[in-house]
A and B are shown apart, each in its own frame.
Chain A
Amino acid sequence: MAQNTAPIHRLRRVYVWEQPVRIYHWINALVLLALIATGFYIASPLALQSHKEATNAFTMGWMRYIHFAAAYIFFFNFLFRIYWGFVGNKYANWRQFIPFSKKFFKEMWYVFRMDILMLKGREHMSIGHNAMAGFIYFLTFIAFLVQCLTGFGLYASMSSWWFPKLFAWVPALLGGDILTRQIHHWSMWFFILFVVIHVYLVFYHDYVEGRGEMSSMGGGWKFIEEEVFERNHHQTPNPEKKTATENKKAS
């Protein structure tokens, strides 16, 4: 009855997401939620009536305050993540995000075939981001940049601090605040769609692979099968990885 007995895998614990990456991730998630919610309010505030004097209410004021405060956190959190892309572990490295090698494109194509077209074949075994995910995160970083530029560009004229004023060239380049605001508003939808797909895919990978995808952003660990580890099948587009495992083999 060998067929009825499933092969029991030995799993190896890999520390994938370091604590700074995890903290970055959840700060980003919270701040993005706050930015989207307050952003919607600012774009189209709720209908309120008041018998009180306007001076006693500050609803829009608070919404904008939260939006701006969250924007600052978002920006510096983003800066930190870029920094961590140079000093963090290989899964946090900037090479994970920018398609610069043939291998990267090959893996993206493979992920596309396996996870989107659902073709049959050997499952890919990336431990950190797969190449497709890495590339999508690269697009989100670009969207972050667009939002920071347009957002602080709009904010520049309201602020007396030098920092937002550094962005004053953005509305000037776009010809005014009207278009800048619209780009800021349109780009927001990218984040909403991203969140939906991102959360779904986390469920998906956890469900299909059973390697701790969901909890990895909590504790930082993912688990890979011993034989996969040995066979070195997991393909991360990071050249550092190969030398790291080679070194391990050598030792």
Chain B
Amino acid sequence: MINDASVQQPTYYQEVERKGYSRREFLSFVTMMAAFMGLEKSAIGQVIKAMETQPRVPVIWLHFQECTCCSESFIRSSHPIVADILLDKISLDYTETLMAASGFQAEAAMKSTMEKYKGEYILCVEGSVPTAADGVYCMIGGKTSMQILEEASANAKAVIAWGSCASNGCVQSAKPNPTNATPIHKLLSGNVPLIKVPGCPPIGEVMAGVIVHLVTFGKIPELDRLGRPKAFYSKRVHDSCYRRPFYDAGLFVETFDDESAKKGYCLYKVGCKGPSTYNACGVMKWNNGTSYPIQSGHGCIGCSEANYWDNGRLYERASSFAGFGIEANADTLGKVALAATGVAVAAHAVATNVRKHNLIFNLEKEGKQSEKELES
């Protein structure tokens, strides 16, 4: 990661010191990040060393079709060093939300980072890219987001897709998707490694963890089949849920105001998508580890899963059935089909007795005759 161009950059630890944090605070930050990343205790030293010796990685952080909740989540992650150093100081050479520069200055800063740190900078993308009408639905500085993404990703060391927008399209790619909002993995050339960090937003510590991993090991973290870091997305919300015993016991909340809800039963029947959502919410929680949706009595809506807007309803387990209206779910359709089959079978039985009367009559006659002969 170190080359001549980036040696001039201060290391993370130098930045930490400059900001007035004590060594103890720095160590507690590193230990916390190592724990979040699922590293062994012995790896803490490695992280500390990396933070002390590695120059800050230049970062370009692009904002396309998004609500900035990912950035908001990141700057609120539980340890102040996360925001202070990683975000503030990862040098954020370019990010529309937080940079001081604007207009031509900002564009120039991005361009110079791209040239100066060719193949060294990390490209973070927040938001999906609209491709309808040649991409005019999202334009910055006179360029479409498609163009900007193409330019910025060409020489990046790695691309991080922050949040569900960039990872899987999120709400703006829900049907009918008028702007043809597209997750970035469909637009990248594939030459640059991509890390998807889905969630609406992703957990701040998870985002920090991904960056710390990149800095410490100089390579992208181990990813699952969908391109998400295994350290944070290998378990379902369901598997780490503290209400899981109620699920296993078969005790469920029926409505949000019933006795079962007061008792804190499982939210499965009111649409909790925990059983099909891969995320670390149950372990890391939100707002400095205070709580997470299920803990505050609301089911998981599966915000880090692809197409969660279109795949079924937020407050029901039932799966909607595409093409049969919003009220039709698989079971309604199944019951109708079952009734229709029942009617068809009954009609067929009647028709059989009419149309094949002779056949059946002859069979019976034959049988009766044999029966008589047997008696005589």
Which among A4-12, A92-100, A243-251 touches the partner chain?
Answer: A4-12
Question: Which residue of B277, B311, B359, B362 is within 8 Å of A182 (Cβ)?
Answer: B311
By the criterion CB–CB under 8 Å, are A7 and B275 in contact?
no
Question: Which residue of A6, A45, A55 is within 8 Å of B362 (Cβ)?
Answer: A6
By the criterion CB–CB under 8 Å, are B254 and A207 in contact?
no
Chain B 277-312, CB-CB to A under 8 Å as 1, else 0, gives 110000000000000000000000010011110011
By the criterion CB–CB under 8 Å, are B348 and A200 in contact?
yes
The minimal Cβ–Cβ distance linking A194 to chain B, given in whole angstroms, is 9
Instruction: Please give, as numbers and ranges, the residues of chain A lying within 8 Å of B273 by CB-CB distance.
Output: 178
With A and B bound together, what is the CA distance between A176 and B306 in angstroms?
A: 6
With A and B bound together, what is the CA distance between A49 and B352 in angstroms?
A: 49
Instruction: Please give, as numbers and ranges, the residues of chain A lying within 8 Å of B46 by CB-CB distance.
Output: none
Instruction: Please give, as numbers and ranges, the residues of chain A lying within 8 Å of B43 by CB-CB distance.
Output: none
By the criterion CB–CB under 8 Å, are B360 and A57 in contact?
no
Within 8 A of B (CB), among A92-131: 116, 118, 120, 123
Question: Which residue of A50, A123, A172 is within 8 Å of B359 (Cβ)?
Answer: A123
> Number of B interface residues, CB 8 Å?
61
With A and B bound together, what is the CA distance between A179 and B168 in angstroms?
A: 14
Instruction: Please give, as numbers and ranges, the residues of chain B lying within 8 Å of A158 by CB-CB distance.
Output: 239
Q: Which residue of B lies closest to A203 (CB)?
A: B349
Q: Which residue of A lies closest to B367 (CB)?
A: A210
With A and B bound together, what is the CA distance between A44 and B317 in angstroms?
A: 7
By the criterion CB–CB under 8 Å, are B338 and A193 in contact?
yes
With A and B bound together, what is the CA distance between A145 and B249 in angstroms?
A: 31
By the criterion CB–CB under 8 Å, are B260 and A58 in contact?
no
Interface SS of chain B: helix, strand, loop or mixed?
helix
By the criterion CB–CB under 8 Å, are A172 and B226 in contact?
yes
By the criterion CB–CB under 8 Å, are B366 and A60 in contact?
no
Question: Which residue of A123, A157, A186 is within 8 Å of B236 (Cβ)?
Answer: A157
Q: Which residue of B lies closest to A168 (CB)?
A: B225
Q: Which residue of A lies closest to B264 (CB)?
A: A54
Most B Cβ at <10 Å: residue of A123, A181, A197: A181
Instruction: Please give, as numbers and ranges, the residues of chain A lying within 8 Å of B370 by CB-CB distance.
Output: 8
Instruction: Please give, as numbers and ranges, the residues of chain A lying within 8 Å of B363 by CB-CB distance.
Output: 208-210
> Number of A interface residues, CB 8 Å?
54
Chain B 255-283, CB-CB to A under 8 Å as 1, else 0, gives 00001100000001100010111100000
Within 8 A of B (CB), among A55-88: 55-61, 63
The minimal Cβ–Cβ distance linking A195 to chain B, given in whole angstroms, is 10
With A and B bound together, what is the CA distance between A207 and B355 in angstroms?
A: 13
Instruction: Please give, as numbers and ranges, the residues of chain B lying within 8 Å of A177 by CB-CB distance.
Output: 236, 275-278, 305
By the criterion CB–CB under 8 Å, are B259 and A178 in contact?
no
By the criterion CB–CB under 8 Å, are A6 and B308 in contact?
no
By the criterion CB–CB under 8 Å, are B333 and A189 in contact?
yes
By the criterion CB–CB under 8 Å, are A179 and B369 in contact?
no
Instruction: Please give, as numbers and ranges, the residues of chain B lying within 8 Å of A118 by CB-CB distance.
Output: 351-352, 355-356
The minimal Cβ–Cβ distance linking B100 to chain A, given in whole angstroms, is 39
Instruction: Please give, as numbers and ranges, the residues of chain A lying within 8 Å of B338 by CB-CB distance.
Output: 189, 192-193, 196
Instruction: Please give, as numbers and ranges, the residues of chain A lying within 8 Å of B147 by CB-CB distance.
Output: none
By the criterion CB–CB under 8 Å, are B366 and A55 in contact?
no
With A and B bound together, what is the CA distance between A179 and B302 in angstroms?
A: 12
The minimal Cβ–Cβ distance linking A51 to chain B, given in whole angstroms, is 10
Within 8 A of B (CB), among A164-201: 168-169, 172, 175-182, 185-186, 188-189, 192-193, 196-197, 200
* Contact status of A60 and B276, CB under 8 A, knowing A43-B317, A204-B352: no
Instruction: Please give, as numbers and ranges, the residues of chain B lying within 8 Å of A9 by CB-CB distance.
Output: 366
Q: Is B29 an interface residue (CB 8 A)?
A: no
Q: Which residue of B lies closest to A192 (CB)?
A: B338
Q: Is A2 an interface residue (CB 8 A)?
A: no
By the criterion CB–CB under 8 Å, are A200 and B369 in contact?
no
Which among B10-18, B78-86, B115-123, B240-248 touches the partner chain?
Answer: B240-248
Most A Cβ at <10 Å: residue of B319, B321, B355: B319
The minimal Cβ–Cβ distance linking A172 to chain B, given in whole angstroms, is 4
* Contact status of A182 and B307, CB under 8 A, knowing A6-B366, A60-B249, A207-B352: no
The minimal Cβ–Cβ distance linking A105 to chain B, given in whole angstroms, is 23
By the criterion CB–CB under 8 Å, are B342 and A196 in contact?
yes
Instruction: Please give, as numbers and ranges, the residues of chain B lying within 8 Å of A55 by CB-CB distance.
Output: 245, 249
Given A8-B369, A157-B234, A196-B342, 8 more A-B residue pairs with CB atoms under 8 Å apart are A46-B250, A47-B269, A60-B250, A172-B224, A175-B226, A179-B307, A193-B338, A200-B349
Q: Identify 20 residue pairs between A and B in the complex whose beta-carbon atoms are under 8 Å apart, listed by A's number.
A: A9-B366, A44-B269, A44-B317, A47-B252, A48-B252, A54-B248, A58-B249, A157-B236, A172-B225, A172-B226, A175-B226, A175-B306, A177-B278, A181-B275, A182-B312, A185-B330, A189-B330, A189-B338, A204-B349, A210-B367
